[in-house]
Amino acid sequence: METISENACFGGTQGVYKHASDATGTDMTFGLFQPVEAQDGPVPVLWYLSGLTCTHDNAMTKAGAQAWAAEQGIALIFPDTSPRGPGVADDDAYDLGQGAGFYVNATQDPWAPHFQMWDYITEDLPDLVFNKFALDAERQGITGHSMGGHGALTIAMSLPERFRSVSAFSPICNPTASDWGKKQLGAYLGDDTTKWVAHDASLLMKNVGFDGPMLIDTGTQDQFIDLLKPETLANAIATRRQEAVFRMQPGYDHSYFFVSTFMEDHVNFHAEALWA
């Protein structure tokens, strides 16, 4: 692992690190905020998965999460959204290829050799950070924005014993029925739509739910709301009677202005579950 940078931040440390990933077969970069409490022993962890076109840097510098994490004494992990570099497949479209890994393990060419983002987020990167840093693997929460909200929800529902809490900002809720989903799942996983179901938050909610608290925020003026399909997840939550807070925030769009506005709520929501 290589340290790219470390900066004092709200009494703790905001670091950026690079490592060779077994899952993707590439070098991967991630951000990690450690509160001052990490100097005395392992602290709870909140994973933040970013959206289309993002790297580890977007949320790390725009979401304003460190102030609230420092107040609550929890760490933040900001992974990248896809493998990158020479020899890694890409596409001219912004919503496929590098920057658009969709948090799945690709099975189709040309994506399969490197686009193993499910394994990277759930196995490879956790193995590294819990061995290298003072982080408590028994106290994990996960959140994300847009494509990252999709990833956070699907990963949390698929790994019910790992995460104590899950939240999402404007998540892609029903990708098997949306152009933000059908394109990517078809490219990465192939035409057999039965293989897509495990990566659809609304279908997972219907089938398995989440054994813990959930918080969802989406703006009523989100310019991508027809692609996000929040109503499908809201209906699945209601049908399952899932423990959840689902909020449509009046006037807000899809931007990091929206994310940063409600970040305090989300960090505090996770802290309550992680310190319980």
Catalytic residue numbers, as ranges: 146, 222, 254
Per the CB < 8 A criterion, the answer to whether 71 and 158 are in contact is no
Kindly state the tokens that stand for 75.
């760490």
User: Cα–Cα distance between 223 and 218 in angstroms, integer?
Assistant: 11
Nearest Cα to Cα of residue 88 among 77, 103, 74, 100: 100
User: Cα–Cα distance between 246 and 268 in angstroms, integer?
Assistant: 16
Kindly state the tokens that stand for 259.
């994310």
Kindly state the tokens that stand for 184.
């990517």
Residue 160 one-letter amino acid:
P
User: Cα–Cα distance between 268 and 258 in angstroms, integer?
Assistant: 17
Distances (CA, A) of 21 to 50, 157, 208: 19, 24, 30
Q: Give the burial class of 235: count Cβ atoms within 10 A of its Cβ; 0-12 exposed, 13-18 middle, 19 or more buried.
A: middle
User: Cα–Cα distance between 8 and 106 in angstroms, integer?
Assistant: 37
Residue 60 one-letter amino acid:
M
Query: How do beta strands 12-20 and 2-9 pair?
Result: antiparallel
Residue 146 one-letter amino acid:
S
